Amino acid sequence: MSKAIYDIQKVDELIFPYLPKIEGLAQTILKAMNAAVKNGGKRVRPALMLETFKMLGGSDTSLISPFMAAMEMIHTSSLIHDDLPCMDNDVLRRGKPTTWVTYGEDMAVLAGDALIVEASKVSAVAIAKAKDFEKMQRAARAKVVLDQKTGIEGMIAGQVVDVENTGNALSKAELDFIYRLKTGALLEASLMIGAIVSGASERNIERMEQIARNIGMAFQIQDDILDEVSTEEELGKPIHSDEKNQKTTYVTLFGIENAKKKVQELSAEALRLLEEIKMEDKSRDITVLSSMTMWLTQRTN
Ligand code: GRG
């Protein structure tokens, strides 16, 4: 992917302190967890969360950083599990050996599990440490959204339908369900949590969910396009994996050109919703999130 237009190092500085220290007898799993999070990654979700928080008036980053860390831990756990032999059976992630290849399947399952639990703990601690009732309420709502969008109402539901249907032809409705939940749900949670913790209005929390839904869909369709037209060097993972796994994608359903057009439409809708926020309150600076939307939906890896 072309160089990120946000400061990945700044995001890392905010989330790394929440990772477990590598010490004691269970070091293997602690190493696997740290390595999986620190092994590259665009930090799209925590970066979007932070920028939404700032755009909607948040300034104290200590309020949002636990949720940024929790989000990246959940995202990482899903990647570790997704790469396992019983799922996608991938040996490369971000151009490097996957967690199960380096640490064994048993440790990879446990490292993924432990990251989900750590994410829950870190966000629960944020609630427990809130300085006043309002901040506590916001943090509690953020945790509910995080759990909903991760679990059986979110990413996991999308993954279930995806895994169950590998090799089956899918309808557009089924594909949309998978994309909206498997990829979109964590993006929705990221933007919603940024809004909730900043103290945004209900309308803006809703708008951020819609913006994320459009970005998520565009992001996933772009994934379909890249799997078809990119190279292994550029992507950092094998190409033509959809064909290998006999997956229905937007490209197989509608062709490359229509898939590209859909990405443009979804991206335009996300930008329109950001404009709406600006029109309602002229003091909102939507430039960073608008640029991020364009960058994410036009990515090349
Ligand atoms: C363990 C919580 C948990 C869930 C297990 C395996 C699984 C259920 C879900 C898999 C969901 C999945 C892998 C969706 C794909 C989402 C996606 C587009 C990932 C790539 O995201 P990027 O491009 O990755 O942000 P980087 O490498 O930049 O972090």
Residue 46 CB less than 6 A away from ligand 1: no
| Ligand 1 midpoint to CA 78 (Å) | 5
Q: Residue 21, Cβ neighbours under 10 Å: how many?
A: 8
User: What single DSSP character describes residue 2?
Assistant: P
Residue 159 CB less than 6 A away from ligand 1: yes
Residue 223 CB less than 6 A away from ligand 1: yes
Q: How far is CA 141 from CA 63, 152, 183, 195, 246, in A?
A: 13, 18, 21, 11, 39
| Ligand 1 midpoint to CA 163 (Å) | 13
DSSP 191-239: HHHHHHHHT--HHHHHHHHHHHHHHHHHHHHHHHHHHHHS-HHHHTS-S
Higher pLDDT, 56 or 2: 56
pLDDT at 242: 78
Q: What is the pTM of this model?
A: 0.95
- Measured between alpha carbons, how far is 267 from 80 in angstroms, rounded to an integer? 29
Residue 44 CB less than 6 A away from ligand 1: yes
Choose which residue among 3, 71, 78 to substitute to test ligand 1 binding: the one with the highest number of ligand atoms within 8 A of its C-beta: 78
Q: How confident is the model over 155-191, as pLDDT tens digits?
A: 999 999 999 998 899 999 999 999 999 999 999 999 9
Q: Please enumerate in sequence order all residues whose Cβ is within 8 A of that of 195, keeping only pairs 6 or more positions apart, or say none.
A: 52, 53, 56, 204, 205, 208
The SS3 of residue 92 is strand
